[in-house]
Amino acid sequence: MFNVFKHVSFSIAVLSIAVATAGAPAKRSTEKQKAEITGHGPAVLWRYPKDIATRDLIYGPGGKAHSPVGPFTFDKEDLKGTNPKFDVIAANGGKWKVKLGEEAQPETVASRLVWAVGYFANEDYFVPVLRVKDMPTLKRGRKLVTPDGVAYGARMKRSVPGQKKIGEWEWLDDRFTNTREWNGLRTLMAVINNWDLKDENNAIYQAEGPQGPEQLYMVSDLGSSFGTTGLSWTKRGSKGNLKAYRHSKWIKNIGPEYVDFNVPSRPALDHFPDIPALMRRLRLRKIGWNVPRKDARWMGNLLGELSGKQIRDAFRSAGYEAGTVEAYSRLVESRIAELKRM
């Protein structure tokens, strides 16, 4: 009984602080984030997808030509983030980042939908069975790899030659803030229930564009999608969970001119004995608030140009079985229709 009261008291204290500080502006965490990003060429968040109706959502932004071809050799383990990751090198010298676990499938789908409507996304591919030579025992995810180097359900991200990460961008304090394209991206994150919208999951890449050097602004981690609207009690419930996605309330409120999305929503409190971490999560909710209805409708119309086959191809690309593909696709189509009525 004592532990129950202690837990309740802690929760009340946390909520009290949350109410007092939820309106406070988010502070940049490091000097690196404060520094001006120095790149070459214009900054680009979105480019009109004139070929949207013919984009291949089976292979995504990398296309069939860039899809992974083995054999692959282990390079090094990546201990950043919360998911098991490691780098491999293909026989042709190409470098790939492998991610295992709950995010592999939803991230593959999300990358295709984001790219389909004109935003930039990593060249992600889902590989049901990945064989890796010289595979050591991993520090993380060792249960997901067999002793002879076989990993099941892997997302492989291609390292694009000539493209280099030069920084991160901030959702609530950036050059694109309050533009139609920025509002459209916020809307799209709500459509797919991508709740992990920390600034560190955004990247600026120096790349070579159609007219020369340019800086691409990208949501570089899309793995926390197609599950709940916020961090849940378990990873399995938060990401790539059809039941959770189906029953989630993704729209909080619709006003005469603005819509508030419920993505990201309040996280489960038990995940945050560290109150500052909880505060940072609570501030993320602002990313989904006060989206002009006309901009949400604009995104709905863009998504509406995708055919039913294209949407289903996005889920097929991630290895989902036929029933799950159909169920997810119908839910996405329903959300698109709701946006178009804004």
Q: Is the peptide bond before 71 cis (omega within 30 degrees of 0)?
A: yes
The per-residue pLDDT for 16 is: 36
Using alpha carbons only, how large is the chain's radius of gyration in Å? 20
pLDDT value for 232: 80
Q: Which of 159, 146, 150, 144 is nearest to 131 (CA)?
A: 150
Mean pLDDT of the chain: 88
Distance CA 7, CA 189 (A): 33
Closest CA to 260 of 187, 188, 337: 187
Number of domains in the chain: 1
pLDDT given at position 270: 54
**How far does Cα 138 stand from its chain's mean position?**
25
Q: Which residues of the chain have pLDDT under 70?
A: 1-37, 233-236, 269-274
Which residues are bridge partners to 89 per DSSP?
A: 73, 95
Q: Is residue 7 part of a domain?
A: no
**d(Cα 131, Cα 135) in Å, to the nearest integer?**
9
pLDDT the model gives residue 36: 56
Residue 102 in domain: yes
| pTM of the predicted structure, to 2 decimals | 0.88
Q: Is residue 139 part of a domain?
A: yes
Contacts of 1 (CB under 8 A, 6+ apart): none
Spatial CA neighbour of 57 closest among 256, 310, 230 = 310
**Under 8 Å CB-to-CB from 163, ≥6 apart: which residues?**
205, 206, 207, 208, 216
Query: Residue 232 domain-assigned?
Result: yes
314/325 Cα distance (integer angstroms):
9
Q: How far is CA 336 from CA 4, 46, 163, 297, 303, in A?
A: 43, 19, 32, 9, 7
In a domain, 53, yes or no: yes
- Which tokens sit at 102? 């709950």
Note the pLDDT of residue 272.
55
Q: Is 137 exposed, middle or buried (0-12, 13-18, 19+ CB in 10 A)?
A: exposed
Backbone angles phi, psi at 217, to 5 degrees: -95, 125
What is the reported pLDDT for 25?
A: 36
pLDDT recorded at residue 190: 98
By CB atoms closer than 10 A (0-12, 13-18, 19+), residue 8 is exposed
Helix, strand, or coil here: 123? coil
> Is residue 20, in this structure, part of any structural domain at all?
no
Helix 180-191 × helix 104-116 angle, to 10°: 150
Residue 252 contacts residue 286 (beta carbons within 8 Å)? no
Does any domain span residue 50?
yes
Residue 27 located in a structural domain:
no
Across the chain, the runs of DSSP E, i.e. the strands, are: 43-44, 72-78, 85-90, 95-99, 124-133, 150-158, 164-167, 202-209, 212-219, 251-254, 258-261, 291-292
| Full domain range(s) for residue 73 | 32-340
